[in-house]
Amino acid sequence: MAFVTRGFHGRQRDSAEAGRLPPGQYIVSGFPVLSAGPTPHTALSKWSFSIEGEIDTPKRWTWDEFQALPKENITKDIHCVTKWSKFDTMWEGVSLDTLLDGVDTAAEYVMAFSDGGYTTNIPLEDLRDGKAWVAYQYNGEPLEAEHGGPARLLVPHLYFWKSAKWVRGLRLMMDDEPGFWEMYGYHMYGDPWREQRYSGD
Amino acid sequence: MLSEVFVTEMTAAPVMCMYCGTVTVMAEEHLYMFPLSPGAVLRCGTCEEALMVFVRHEGRLRVGLPGVRWLDVAAPSGAQP
């Protein structure tokens, strides 16, 4: 039997914050940098974004083609598995709805892959319907390399390890497969509201 | 720093990178994300591929060895191959 104890522990919070901070998280004003490896510096002339795997005709955009796609301004709260959350982060990027438009696939999962070899798995439906973007600006400036520039995945409703830095594409998969951290015990889905930090949570 | 995630004697253990073949003691490889995160990555000081991955959870440390060809440690006294 599960007992709901949200809000029972922790310090008193501003009422505006209540209901906005997932369990076990605290608010930061800065933007901590956590990277599982050295920061890659891919020249924009060599950058591309691909959708491949379970798709008849793989899709690929160069940097210039990507910049020409319809862009959106996004303001979202983000939640890191290391327990910090940051409210109202402001991004600009391309919606995954735009990138997946017209993609006819039986796949139900994707593996996001990045420069430097990082990967993370996400259900395809979590990337549709205005829930995910490939972001290339933060606070009105080009996204800094240490924060994932030139472009990173932004899936703010999941823990931030799912928002792969330096993202270069998505591999469509029929079955769920573990990415870099998930392989060693991080949760396959990573919902901050259910504190899905580790497999078994 | 590495001794905090691994037993101290291990930090002096030579390790061969599966990707580039370089042999270095663990203490001289590059450690990322420790101690800020439940996960940490030890990368080859030469080619930066991931040698070892550590995930801490509920008092346990899971150690993945995705890039280690071998690790050379002292055998317990009296141990026979």
Domain spans of chain A, in order of start: 48-194
Domain presence at residue B81: no
**Cβ A127 vs Cβ A100: under 8 Å:** yes
**Closest approach of A179 to chain B, Cα-based (Å):** 13
The separation between CA A126 and the C-alpha centre of its own chain, rounded to angstroms, equals 10
The Cα of B13 is separated from the nearest Cα of chain A by a number of Å equal to: 22
Tokens linked to A73: 């301004």
- Residue A11 predicted with pLDDT over 90: no
Please give the full DSSP string across A92-134, using - where no structure is assigned: EEEEHHHHTTT------EEEEEETTS-EEEEEGGGGSSSS-EE
User: Mean pLDDT, chain A, as a whole number?
Assistant: 93
Name the CATH topology of A48-194.
Answer: Sulfite Oxidase; Chain A, domain 2 (3.90.420)
Chain A residues closer than 8 Å to B39 by CB: 36, 181, 184, 186
pLDDT, mean of residues B17-33: 93
Asked if B37's CB is within 8 angstroms of A81's CB, the reply is yes
Contact A34 B62 (CB under 8 A): no
Would you say residue B22 lies in a domain?
yes
In a domain, B54, yes or no: yes
Q: What's the Rg (C-alpha) of chain B? A: 13
Q: Is the pLDDT of residue A184 over 90?
A: yes
Report the pLDDT value the prediction gives residue A8, as an integer from 0 to 100. 41
Q: Which of these ranges, A19-33, A69-83, A95-109, B65-79, has the smallest mean pLDDT?
A: B65-79
Judge whether B75 lies within some domain. Answer: no
In a domain, B33, yes or no: yes
- Chain B residues within an 8 Å CB radius of A81: 37-38
- Tell how strand A59-62 and strand A48-53 pair up: antiparallel
Confidence of residue A2 (pLDDT cuts 50, 70, 90): very low
For chain B, percent of residues with pLDDT exceeding 70: 84
pLDDT above 70: residue B41: yes
Would you say residue A1 has pLDDT above 90? no
How confident is the model over A25-46, as pLDDT tens digits? 999 999 999 999 999 999 999 9
pLDDT of B75 reads 78
Given a cut of 50, is residue A9 above it in pLDDT? no
Predicted pLDDT at B8 = 57
**Residue-wise pLDDT tens digits, A142-168:** 999 999 999 999 999 999 999 999 999
Number of domains in chain B: 1
Poorest-pLDDT segment among A136-145, A187-196, B65-74: B65-74
**B45: domain range?**
2-69
B9-18: per-residue pLDDT in tens?
678 899 999 9
A6-10, A81-85, A95-99, B43-47: the lowest-pLDDT one:
A6-10
Long-range contacts formed by A47-52: CB under 8 A, 24+ apart: A47/A150, A47/A151, A47/A168, A48/A168, A48/A169, A49/A99, A49/A134, A49/A151, A49/A167, A49/A168, A49/A169, A50/A168, A50/A169, A50/A170, A51/A99, A51/A100, A51/A103, A51/A169, A51/A170, A51/A172, A52/A169, A52/A170, A52/A171, A52/A172
Distance separating alpha carbons of residues A81 and A146, to the nearest angstrom = 18
